[in-house]
Amino acid sequence: MQKMVDSGGIIHGCSVTPKIFLTPAEQSGPYCAVHQTTNPDSIKAFLKNLYLQALQPALPANAMRDVQWPEVSGRTYLLSIGKAATQMATAILDRLPENVDGLIVTRHGYVQPGFAPDNLQIVEASHPVPDSVGVEAAQTALQAADALGEDDLLLVLMSGGASALLPAPAAGISLAEKQAVTRSLLHSGAPIGEMNMVRKHLSAIKGGRLAARAWPAATHMIAISDIPGDDIAMIGSGPTVADRSTCADTLAIAAKYDIALPPAIKSQLSSGALETPKADDPKMQRATAGLCARPADMCAAAAEAVRVMGYEPIMLGDALEGDALELGRDHAAQALAIKASGRKAALISGGEATVTLRNRNGRGGRCTAYLLACALALAGEPDICGFAADSDGIDGSEDNAGAFLWPDIMTNMGGADQARQFLENDDSYRAFEKADALLMTGPSGTNVNDLRLLLVH
């Protein structure tokens, strides 16, 4: 793997060639030529295959094949956090020093089957709202950092979900207060970057504070990016990366989304007591960080997969944000324009859209919301199909990765009026469930944001 290091000590790795899952017979039959079939089962199988191909370069076994970290004469403590925590640890386990010990913190149900090394403690905590189990794990991590000396290394593996999985409320802030702010952020429609700015300033571990606690030990983070734009300081809220945001930024975000901050939090933010370590802090000078997988790698793999199958890939961007419903309608309009031009093409995009909830009893994540808005805008137009799915295998807090779309799908939902009602009630999950169109994979072992793909034939 070729690497280049920028002036901030951040390593960017290149992607690997995606594996093609289709057999030769499938590649020449209606399973591959999706435009030759109207069978929903064939369309779903074809689209799911594309999704799995696109994930290949972001899976830790591929993405971490050539990663490196500083060698030290003392101890190495491994801290792996996130939805891909056990998979990332597995990818480098046989390259770690014999004396390594450490902590793995992942979401409930996300432990890789068979992963149970004697020298690593495994904790399953709550996501997306933090819980007391995660708080205890965070305290274990901070105590381990405190015990490291100048000849030691804190090696941190970071993947999506880490912000919620390793909560350590700052002094004077209770877990209940932090949970309340987190819930408000999740319902506000705030993009992940702004959410993580707030999380950093309410934490004793995020925003560079873990590296400061580990100093004078060296700290190195290897991260899978789930952040639009790949800002490494935002991945997992950057526990080992100096923070550029400020307490004033946090107050502005809370005001922007009308989030009521508990008095103790507002007071400490106003006084600057919750400020995070900056790049010139002496305790941040032995902290380095690198990326091993990015949303761009997933999108590039998707583009190559559709090109092999005869589609012209049209890349809309790997870091799209904004309202999921507006994004769905816009992509539908682009797909209709492409069809009118007579091109056989695939619209591909990554990033993380947002959904502003109106019905707290509704079900559905940003991918199903996007796809339902897209389906309504397409209005059953023939020869357009696609999917939207979160690369971690879970769309928001549901059990599906995302969903599929094909021309006649709204008939399966009960008609256009029923589909529109589902959308207005924030019930996109139930719409695709009724149509038997949910994309179900379970935990994927990685997290590089969402993938959206529309095929026009």
Average pLDDT, the chain: 91
Q: Is the dihedral of CA 161, 166, 171, 172 positive or negative?
A: positive
Burial of 336 (0-12, 13-18, 19+ CB in 10 A): middle
Residue 35: pLDDT band (50, 70, 90) is low
Residue 2: pLDDT band (50, 70, 90) is very low
The identity of residue 109, as a single letter, is: G
Q: Is the pLDDT of residue 4 over 50?
A: no
The pTM score is 0.88
What pLDDT score was predicted for residue 260? 93
The count of C-alpha atoms lying within 13 angstroms of the C-alpha of 134, restricted to the half-sphere facing its C-beta, is 26
Which CATH superfamily includes the segment(s) 37-58+296-456?
A: MOFRL domain (3.40.1480.10)
Q: What is the mean pLDDT of residues 277-304?
A: 98
What pLDDT score was predicted for residue 15? 33
What pLDDT score was predicted for residue 38? 82
Q: How many residues does the chain have?
A: 457
Residue 37: pLDDT band (50, 70, 90) is confident
For the record, the structure tokens of 215 come out as 């100093």
CB 359: neighbour CB atoms within 10 A? 11
* Cα–Cα distance for residue pair 378/415, rounded to 1 Å: 13
What pLDDT score was predicted for residue 370? 98
Q: Is the pLDDT of residue 26 over 50?
A: no
What pLDDT score was predicted for residue 228? 87
Residues 386-423 pLDDT 10s: 999 999 999 988 999 999 999 999 999 999 999 999 99
CB 250: neighbour CB atoms within 10 A? 25
Residue among 110, 57, 103, 85 nearest 162 (CA):
85
* Cα–Cα distance for residue pair 15/12, rounded to 1 Å: 10
Q: Is the pLDDT of residue 179 over 70?
A: yes
Q: Is the pLDDT of residue 8 over 70?
A: no
Residue among 300, 294, 291, 346 nearest 17 (CA):
300
| The residue to which tokens 């794990």 are assigned | 137
Residue 13: pLDDT band (50, 70, 90) is very low
Q: Is the pLDDT of residue 23 over 90?
A: no
Residue 36: pLDDT band (50, 70, 90) is low
* Cα–Cα distance for residue pair 104/81, rounded to 1 Å: 6
What pLDDT score was predicted for residue 186? 87
Q: Is the pLDDT of residue 245 over 80?
A: yes
What pLDDT score was predicted for residue 409? 98
CB 241: neighbour CB atoms within 10 A? 34
Residues 94-124 pLDDT 10s: 999 988 999 999 999 999 999 999 999 999 9
Percentage above 90 pLDDT, the chain? 85
What pLDDT score was predicted for residue 187? 86
Residues 216-226 pLDDT 10s: 999 999 999 99
What is the CATH code for 67-293? 3.40.50.10180
* Cα–Cα distance for residue pair 41/24, rounded to 1 Å: 19
Higher pLDDT, 251 or 36: 251
What is the longest distance spanned by two Cα atoms in the chain? 67
Residues 44-74 pLDDT 10s: 999 999 999 999 999 999 999 999 999 999 9
Q: Is the pLDDT of residue 209 over 90?
A: yes
Are 173 and 264 spatial neighbours (Cβ–Cβ below 8 Å)? Answer: yes
Q: Would you kindly state where each structural domain of the chain is located, as residue ranges?
A: 37-58+296-456, 67-293
